[in-house]
Amino acid sequence: MHPNLLSFGPLRQIASSFEAIERGRAATPAKQLRERTLAGVRAVGNGCVPLLARKLCGASERQASWAFFLLGALGGDRVLREVRARLRDPQLPDERKALLLALLGELGAEIPDDVVLADPDRLAQASVRELMASLETEADYTQAAELIVAQVPVVDLPAFVEELTRDAGEPAVKLLEALLAQGELPRELSPRLTRLRKELKAPAPQPATARASATPPPAESRIRCHTVVAAPRRPTRPRRRRPPSPGLDL
């Protein structure tokens, strides 16, 4: 049998998993769907990269989040080439390029110098705001602190943290505390962050407002995305991935 025919079944199953993700529920148990889809990705290999890249760049947020996870699970040179090529596409919105940049960070790959962004300053500023707004649990703050330490060069860290925490109120205090708890911080930075922590005055809590996105990417991907985009660029370290759950208990 021709190799292309052997991979057609798994590729079709991968495509159908996006329909289940979009509906927010699946005919099969969520764990089974995840394991079956990952098995299909491994079976098809590089042949599923174009499909997954199209979903990441052009589908709904639910489907883009699922594609992000599957591309991260696949990895490899073919994925990196596809991501870097799409980062040079002037027609692709900056918001989707932010996901591509986050995927490079997820895979521990260097951010290329030829990324084409329509408005890099606006994207970075939006990512700073979204990062602070996305932090809800203690685990979120810890993960954000770990990513900041991993992403931001030491010389840029004080200025970056000051920008990140400006006018952020209580979330800024919590993030600074999480940063100060990081064992990887250079010794000379701790006093500077401590002073910044003391200077911040948390305002009274404001009423919660609805998020702009009804179906954001999962917390880990969202935090990583905003940190990678907002931070000064440098090669990143790969981290263990957790599967997203956009509408499904995956």
Q: Is there a single domain that holds both residue 14 and residue 93?
A: yes
Instruction: Give domain status of residue 89, yes or no.
Output: yes
Whether residues 13 and 102 share a domain: the answer is yes
Q: Do 169 and 196 belong to one domain?
A: yes
Which has the closest alpha carbon to 130: 64, 211, 68, 201? Answer: 211
pLDDT, residue 56, reads 95
pLDDT at 67: 94
Most confident option among 120-134, 167-181, 188-202: 167-181
Percent of the chain with pLDDT over 90: 25
Give residue 199's pLDDT.
Answer: 80
Whether residues 72 and 124 share a domain: the answer is no
Overall domain count for the chain = 2
In a domain, 240, yes or no: no
The answer to whether residue 49 scores a pLDDT higher than 80 is: yes
Residues 102 and 125 in one domain: no
Is residue 235 included in any domain, yes or no? no
Domain that holds residue 178: 120-202+216-230
* 63 and 139 share one domain: no
With respect to residue 128, please indicate whether it lies within any of the assigned structural domains. yes
Whether 49 is in a domain gets the answer yes
Judge if 15 and 100 occupy the same domain. yes
| Residue 181, in any domain of the structure | yes
Mean pLDDT, residues 190-198 taken together: 83
The answer on 102 and 127 residing in a single domain is no
Do 52 and 141 lie in one domain? The reply is no
CB-CB contact of 144 with 175 (8 Å): yes
Same domain, 128 and 223: yes
Closest CA to 56 of 35, 43, 70: 70
Would 187 be classed as within a structural domain?
Answer: yes
pLDDT of residue 233: 47
Query: Do residues 55 and 27 share a domain?
Result: yes
- Compute the mean pLDDT over every residue in the chain, rounded to the nearest whole number: 76
Domain assignment present for residue 236? The answer is no
Give yes or no: residues 76 and 131 share one domain.
Answer: no
